[in-house]
Structures are given as structure tokens and as C-alpha cells.
Chains A and B, each alone.
Chain A
Amino acid sequence: MRRSALSVCRIAIAAVLAFAPSAEAGFHRADVGDVIENVALPALSGGRQPLLGQAAVNVFVFFKPGQEHSLTTLTKLAGFKEKFAGKSVHWAAVASDRFKLVDIEATVQAAGFSMSVLIDTGDELYGRLGVALCPTIGITDRRHQLVADLSFAKVNYAAVISGHIRHQLQEISSAKLQDILNPTAAVQGGDAKMAHRRLKYAEKLFQAGKHARALENVQASLAKDPNLAAARVLQERILSAQGRSAESVR
């Protein structure tokens, strides 16, 4: 039973994804679900280093020196490296060899980014993945399967990056990740909230022995939400205290 329910859920999610509008992807030649080929590239610090590691989560970013969004992204990732210190996360940043090494170094230093910085000679990796935007962050799992490609966003960018990493580290559930990707609107007011507020006020008045005004407010509460059980109970208590139990039964 549970298995069939799960299957239905999976089909529903697949259907939603299939009919969802398509968005400009960070990588034109790699989709979420594709396995990213690991490559060793020349490192800014010397020698060659791999794009991906053996960690539970691999985070790599294509960036451009001197670009504001790239600097912001690298700064955020530098913060995340500290936040996720000691956890199984491999970090790497990639810049094209079209840019001067001094400029790359300057951007990396300005961001406080102390991770592996790789140089993409002749934009080979850029072209292979079809990097469309800069910066673009790729996140893979341990098997190097791409789980997210994220382009820059002005709002909730850090929350989304962190959410994907934490989800891969199994620190948060898929439902929680969805909450981060699609946060609930912070709306205020509404009849239910007003009813509850009136109820709390009535409770305080009742405790203060102001029965008539407590009744007035509990009735205002019930007018906003007739199904508020706690308000019904309080109304009965007030009526009883006023010696009007017969009315309370009604």
C-alpha cells in the first residue's frame, strides 16, 4: 500500500516536472541527473587538481574575475566552506584562462575563497558542459551525478545553495528542501488569527475577573471563527462563572 502510494507520488512529481516550463539552464550540455565527467585541471596554486572529489557532495563554480556576481558567489561559498567544515563536501572554482591569473587571484582573495581554483585552458570544460551563465554553480552527489545547477539570484541565493548541500548531506529532507526553494508567503492577519487573538484577550480578562468583557471578546472570537473549540470552552466557563450555565448548554 505504502509502496503504491510512493509510486503515485513519483509519477505525480515526474508529471509536474515534465510539464513545467523550461528555464535557461546553467549548463547547456549537462542536465540534472547527468553524471559529470571528472577532469583534472591546472590549479592556480600549481600542479593539477580534480574538479570533483570523493566527498558526499561536490560543489564547483564557474566564475569570472572582476564580476560582481562572481565575487558575491565566491564570498558566499567561502562562508559555506567554514559552515560545512568537517563535513564531506569538496569545493572547487573554475575560471577561464582567457582571464589574467593576477585578476583571478585578486577576485579569489577579495572573496576570502581558500579552495581549489582551477584554470580552464581554452575553455574546454566550459564548452564541454555548455556553461551558459557566469557564475554558475554545479552540485553533484558522491557518484558525480549533477543534482543542481544554480545561476546567480539576488534573493535567497545563499539559502538555496545551502539547502541543496544540506539535502545531499542528508541533513534536511526533500520536503524541507522544497520549503527552501518555494518559501511560504509571510502573510499576516486573517479571520483565524484574529479569532485566536480575541480568545487570548478573553482568557486574560476572565483571569482578571472581568467576566462581562471576557464574554464580549470570546463572542467576537467566535464570530471570526465559529469552529474555534477553545473559544467555545472558554465561553462555557465564563457563562458558568456568571451563573448562566443553562445558556452555556444551549
Chain B
Amino acid sequence: MNMIIQAFNAGESENRNIRPLPASGRRRVIVTTVLLLAGLCLAASLFVAEKAAGKTAKAGRTGGLAPLPEGELAASLHAPFAGGDCGLCHQNQDPKAPGPLLKAVNDICRGCHEDFSHLTERKFRHAAATESCNNCHNPHNARYDKLLVKDVGTLCLSCHTDMKPVTTEARVKHDATIKDKACINCHNSHGTDVEHLLISLPYDLCVTCHGEDKVKDHDGRQLTDFKKLLEENPEHHGPAADKDCSACHNPHGAEYFRLLNQEYPSKFYASYNPETYALCFNCHEESVFEEPRTKTLTLFRDGEVNLHYLHVNKAQRGRTCRACHEVHAAKQAHQVRDGVPYGSKGWILKINYTPTRSGGTCTKTCHDIKGYTNQPADLAAGSQAGR
């Protein structure tokens, strides 16, 4: 300390333009300098220690692997630590000097947690888990459940930083990303047989919440029971049949209503603009709605008159997909809806779509009874109905 004071005084004497500080002020500056240096040294040593512990640059982990400070209440406690069995994982039994680990971290963990060997051998594995269990878990005790070093959401987002704006800033939010178990409502953070570490295929996951009629959305609106809907309506839209809800919805959050990935008309009528149907045209052929006449693009045609074009492609009051089709499932072929809304009193006029060998008919609803034939009569006899 004296050396520092001398050095400080020496510097002062060399600069005669600066008025000397009073003795108390000099002491304050010196103490502050010493504290700053000590802080820097501590931070550097912590950094070196963490590197030495094999921690890869995972952004958000704090607290290291040491037990919580004595007296702090832990939310979860590892049985060997609680039992003082340091020697089961460390070379020494002494809790004050446990020494190095007996084996690599994951090998030690799997000695008891054998089921996780199986999970991390699945087709899709979480790199953080295969690298080291300690990336997410404290092997002694923790402030969070399952010995996690942070709450699930914060922990996941500390590496998956790109997900934060999607889940928190999206115009349409999905409660599943923040409520209950957050990310692990849908993902298994160790390993799965489904891409993106999903616990199961999207539909099977979604109906765990959307398979009952009590669920409300972020804005408090009642949501459909999709399990019931699909069970009662045998004609399923492709993605629904393939259990791929994420084909149309973004489960993390979206800019479009109902968590849709892209634009899709929310009303019965819309002026035709391909951008309005961006979601549909990811899979469905856009030209079906842009060619007035065709012999190949659609079977919903009368001879060569393209009836999809006729219904949809209008500058004013074009019928949108939902005018005729159910987007998830329907009772009628091609997911043609049961009926269309009429008036302001909630009336539904039945469409009664009837497929025939060479086309189909609709009963009097939007227009008079109309039928269509999409191929010559001689070919129709051998064709499949209504396609």
C-alpha cells in the first residue's frame, strides 16, 4: 500500500499543473484503484477456472458447478451430495477437498442415470447434453428444479438466442413457450427421434393442449379441440394427416393470426392477390388460380373452365379457400366444408357437395345447383370420382 501511495505522490509531483488532492481524497482514489484491480483479478481467475472446467462458451450459465452457498435454500438436491457421498463421483470423500472427478462427467452421471444413455443415443441429440450434463445441471444442488442452473426458459435462451425475439416479440404469441415447463413443454433437451428435439410428432404434441375444449389463446379466445375435430371429420388436410402442424403454424410465435407462418386470408371474401395466399402456395400450385382454362392443373373444372379460377380470382369478393374448404378436416371429400354462413344470425346453408365419377355437384347455396365434369364421359367411367 505504501508503495502505491509513494507512486501516486510521485506522479502528482511530476505534474505541477494539477492541484494535489487532500490526503483523504488520495486515500479514496487509492482504495478504489486497489478494489478495481482486485475485481479484475477475480474475474480473470473465474474465467480461467471455468475454461479449465471444460465449459464451452455457453452464454448464460452462471454459478459454476459448486454447491449453492451454505444456508441458501435449494429447490433441488442431488442425492449423493445430500448424503455426503462425494467419493462416488470424486476421488476424495472429503467435502472440503473432493478433488478431481473419477471419470468424465457424462460417464459418471450415466452410472446411475442409465436411461439418459438411451435418450442421447436417439436419432436427434442435444449437443449440450452429449457434451456435458453440467452444461445445464449443477451436480450438487440448484435454485431450480431438476438441478438446473437456471429456469428452463432462461437456460435455453442463453444459447438459443435467436428464439428470444420470436417468443417474446412476435405479434401472435404462443403461451406454451412461456408457461408451465416452457421450452420443454414440447422439446426433450436430451435426445429424441423427431427433428428439432421434439418429444413427438407435432400433432401428437399439439393435442396435449389443443385436444380439449378448455384451452384459450393468448388473447383469451376459446380454441378448437383438434383431437375431436379430426376424429369426427375423416377428410384431413395433408399436413394434419401427416401430423405436421408446423407446416402452417409457427409454434414459437408468428406475425400472422393463429400463429400462421405466412399470410392467409382470414375472411370469406378477398380480392385475389397471390401474396394473400402465400401460406397455401407453399405447397399448392399458384397457377391453378391464375389460368382461366386448363385441362391439367385442377380437377375442379368443367371441361376446360377452371372453377378454382372462377371462384377465387376476382378483383372484388373473390371466394377465399375457407369459403369452400375446411383447413384442418371435413366430412366431405377434398375438405369441402359442410355449409357456408348466411346472414347475421349464424345460419349455415349446407353445401352438400356430391362427388361423381367425372366431377361433382353442389346444392343450392351460394348459387343454384351446379355440377361439373372434368373429363370426357368415356374416360370418366374408368376414373376416380371427384378428384
Could you list which residues of chain A lie within 8 angstroms of chain B, going by C-beta atoms? 21-26, 28-29, 64, 67-69, 98, 122-124, 126-128, 130-135, 151-156, 159, 179, 182-188, 193, 196-197, 200-201, 204-205, 208, 210, 213, 217
Contact = CB atoms under 8 A, between A and B. Distances in A.
Contacts of B191: 186
Contact of B112 (A127, A151, A201): A201
A29 B242 contact: no
A22 B235 contact: yes
A52 to B, nearest CB: 20
Given A64-B285, A134-B283, A155-B246, A187 B236 contact: no
Nearest to A153: B244
A159 B190 CA distance: 19
B101 interface: no
B166 interface: no
The binding surface of chain B is classed by DSSP as: mixed
Nearest to A19: B234
Contact of B242 (A22, A23, A130): A23
B70 interface: no
B112 A186 contact: no
A25 B236 CA distance: 10
Given A21-B234, A21-B236, A208-B88, 14 more contacts: A21-B233, A22-B241, A24-B236, A28-B299, A126-B297, A130-B299, A156-B195, A183-B193, A183-B201, A186-B192, A200-B112, A200-B114, A201-B79, A201-B80
Contact of A155 (B80, B196, B295): B196
B202 A204 contact: no
Interface residues of B, number: 59
A24 B196 contact: no
A133 B240 CA distance: 15
8 contacts: A24-B335, A152-B283, A153-B244, A155-B194, A156-B201, A182-B201, A185-B200, A186-B194
A151 B283 contact: yes
B285 to A, nearest CB: 5
Question: Which of B112, B119, B202, B334 lies at the interface centre, i.e. has the most chain A CB atoms within 10 A of its CB?
Answer: B112
B113 interface: yes
A24 B241 contact: yes
Contacts of B383: 29
B387 A28 contact: yes
Given A98-B287, A205-B85, A188 B200 contact: no
B112 A153 contact: no
A159 B195 contact: yes
Interface in B305-330: 329
Contact of B247 (A131, A153, A183): A153
A13 B160 CA distance: 43
What 9 A-B pairs are tightest by C-beta distance, nearest first? A127-B296, A23-B241, A183-B193, A186-B192, A185-B200, A28-B387, A24-B238, A123-B296, A200-B112
Contacts of B236: 21-24
B111 interface: yes
